[in-house]
Amino acid sequence: MRILMAEDDPMIASALAQQLADDAHVVEVVADGRTALDFARLGSFDVILLDLGLPEMDGIGVLRRLRAGNEGDQGPVVIVMTARGAVSEKVMGLDAGADDYLVKPFAYEELHARLRAVGRRGSSHGTAVLRAGAIALDEATASATSHDGAPVQLTRRELALLRALIRLPGVVLSRDQLESQVYGSEVEIESNAIDFIIKRLRGKLGADCVRNVRGLGWMIPRGR
């Protein structure tokens, strides 16, 4: 899953991000409410882990703004994780638009169990196959097909990169943008890491599945 974590305690954020990354999730970490709202609106996240006691804008404000006007498209699942454990505070968070509510301190195993439940819920409703040109991406099975129609399995990073490109066909994404989509907040990314992932994708799906726009980045054409 691609996860946005809004948490202003750096020790909690770092520990959780590492555990989630170890379980094959891609995590983006932000430390204030305004940045969280901006990222949530612009990013393609499956889940948002939202602390309520954030600077700039509290979590309730983020929730209300995120859910406002989105009745037809609920957007990502939001799991509140906070030290506020009173019943009235839980009711407020859920009424503001949270899908789940975890009171700190909690065991990582409990959070991960809830994430697995989110994944099962998504699978039960079916996952759309994303298409651009000759490429079709099935996120539920982490597989893709190209010209000959034979499905190939993708690694989690291949999946994340292809998903970022296929959701914006014809749009050039820069190296920085792709690194953010693939690695989240991980540090010390190899300078040519994206090149290696694209090379592997081309080996699986064909040399022209991802096109390079010199000096700008990469794209998947709208059609062929």
Peptide bond before residue 169 is cis, with ω within 30 degrees of 0: no
Shared-domain flag, residues 41 and 141: no
pLDDT digit string, tens, across residues 47-77: 999 999 999 999 999 999 988 855 545 678 9
Q: Is residue 199 part of a domain?
A: yes
d(CA 169, CA 11): 38
pLDDT digit string, tens, across residues 15-31: 999 888 888 787 889 99
Q: Of 106, 124, 142, which marks where a domain is finished?
A: 124
Q: Could you list the residue range(s) of the whole structural domain that residue 109 is in?
A: 2-124
Overall domain count for the chain: 2
**pLDDT value of position 72:** 45
Q: Is residue 182 part of a domain?
A: yes
Shared-domain flag, residues 29 and 75: yes
Q: Of 108, 124, 140, which marks where a domain is finished?
A: 124
Shared-domain flag, residues 58 and 154: no
Instruction: Tell me which amino acid residue 67 is.
Output: R
Mean pLDDT of the chain: 86
For residue 54, the domain's CATH number is 3.40.50.2300
**pLDDT value of position 191:** 85
**pLDDT value of position 127:** 52
pLDDT digit string, tens, across residues 26-53: 788 999 999 999 888 876 788 999 999 9
Q: Of 124, 145, 164, which marks where a domain is finished?
A: 124
**pLDDT value of position 5:** 95
Q: pTM of the prediction? A: 0.64
d(CA 12, CA 84): 16
Shared-domain flag, residues 87 and 193: no
Extract the tokens encoding 180: 């953010």
Q: Is residue 224 part of a domain?
A: no
Instruction: Give the pLDDT mean for 85-96.
Output: 94
Instruction: Give the pLDDT mean for 101-108.
Output: 94
pLDDT digit string, tens, across residues 108-144: 999 999 988 887 765 444 456 788 878 888 877 788 9
Strand partners, 182: none
Shared-domain flag, residues 140 and 91: no
Shared-domain flag, residues 70 and 101: yes
Shared-domain flag, residues 8 and 117: yes
Nearest to 133 by CA among 108, 169, 160: 169
Shared-domain flag, residues 94 and 192: no
Q: Is residue 198 part of a domain?
A: yes
* CA distance from start to end of the chain: 30
Residue 195's contacts (CB-CB under 8 Å, 6 or more residues apart) are none
For residue 189, the domain's CATH number is 1.10.10.10
Shared-domain flag, residues 40 and 114: yes
Instruction: Give the pLDDT mean for 72-98.
Output: 88
Q: At 3, give phi and psi (nearest 5°).
A: -120, 135
Shared-domain flag, residues 147 and 69: no
Shared-domain flag, residues 170 and 183: yes
